[in-house]
Amino acid sequence: MTSHRLVQSAPAKLNLALSVGRPDDDGMHPICSWMVTISLSDELELKRLEAGSISRYAILWHEEARNQSEIDWSIRNDLAVRAHLAIENAVGRALPVQLKLAKRIPVAGGLGGGSSNAAAMLLACNSLFELGLTTKELQAIAAPLGSDVSFFLHGGSALVEGLGEYVTPLENRPTLHLVLIFPPVACPTGAIYRAFDEMISPDWSGPRPQMVRELIESPPESLREMELPNDLTEPAMSVKPELNEVRRKIARAADRSVHLAGSGSSLFVICDDALHAQALAETIERETELPAVAVQTWQPDPPEPATTDQPPDA
């Protein structure tokens, strides 16, 4: 058999709105979020090997990565590798590959890099080995890997609910231009959610789907000035107080609202257009000495049509 090679983009995501509920009996938090994929991406290069070969994995920083940290986790704990093992288990046979994962998305930055890598692996294996799995079947494999993986199987713009399993694509959304900023701070997701649990009041009613849906229907230009709702902003600032000072510096340089990406630590600003985003990224870098990049929302090619379960009424 001739080896086959595929390069799969694994885009980062932003939560333009994130509403979080109380943890369930398993400690998992239901959410309602407006998620979008953006043009910052990791690159997954996958080669199909001869039957009987042993899979090989390499994970490294892309030469363009602006915020590199030590890749100090076990290869078997990497989400892309776990996704490969999960799809092998699902189809009941070995799918030998050689993986080269070149990362641009910062670790522990709230941009979903690991989950995106997992989704990219599932999509790439499905294509390389001609498995014929539907999006819904891939979602079932993705569910144990992380709450954001199902969203990344769709990409684009979507309303995401439940524990991430309910994904409603939002069609024909206008492109947004943004600046991403990478503070030298890591925000462990678990610590941020524990702080959230300690901070919410006894009558906390989240998640709030109506609030998120109203934001989705807002004119795109109104997003540039408003404070986008993110229930994890205050917990993140309490866990990492230095992040709040960084946010204030960026706000002075940008002269508009600065938002937390997911559970942090990345921050972002919504811009008027591509030229504004590029100029503002340069201004923020000059005035704060922090890495900043101009990006835009990114819509992948349409996925295979699939029906998705609907979340229970809120």
Which domains, and CATH codes, for the chain?
4-169 (3.30.230.10), 177-296 (3.30.70.890)
- Percent with pLDDT over 90 in the chain: 79
Closest by CA to 116, choosing from 16, 31, 9, 29, is 9
What is the per-residue pLDDT for 301?
60
Q: Which residue has the higher pLDDT, 236 or 202?
A: 236
Average the pLDDT over 12-40 and give the result: 96
Strand locations in 86-198, DSSP E?
Answer: 97-103, 157-162, 166-169, 177-181
Tell me: the pLDDT tens digits for 88-106?
A: 999 999 999 999 999 999 9
Average the pLDDT over 217-244 and give the result: 93
Helix (H) / strand (E) containing 288: helix 274-288
What is the per-residue pLDDT for 304?
39
Tell me: the pLDDT tens digits for 182-191?
A: 998 888 889 9
What is the per-residue pLDDT for 306?
33
pTM of the prediction?
0.90
Whether residue 156 contacts residue 16, with contact meaning beta carbons closer than 8 Å, is answered with no
Whether residue 145 contacts residue 139, with contact meaning beta carbons closer than 8 Å, is answered with no
What is the per-residue pLDDT for 121?
97
Q: Which residues are paired to 4 by β-bridges?
A: 48
Helix (H) / strand (E) containing 47: strand 31-48
Q: How confident is the model at residue 69 (pLDDT cuts 50, 70, 90)?
A: confident
Q: Which residue has the higher pLDDT, 39 or 219?
A: 39
CA distance 161 to 183: 29
Within 10 A of 9 (CB to CB), how many other CB atoms are there? 16
Residue environment code for 275-294, b if the CB has 16+ CB neighbours within 10 A, otherwise e:
ebbeebbeebbeebebbbbb
Residue 123's identity, in one-letter code, is: L
Helix (H) / strand (E) containing 239: helix 233-239
| Residue positions annotated with a catalytic role | 13, 148
* pLDDT mean across residues, the chain: 91
Tell me: the pLDDT tens digits for 254-300?
A: 999 999 999 999 999 999 999 999 999 999 999 999 999 999 999 87
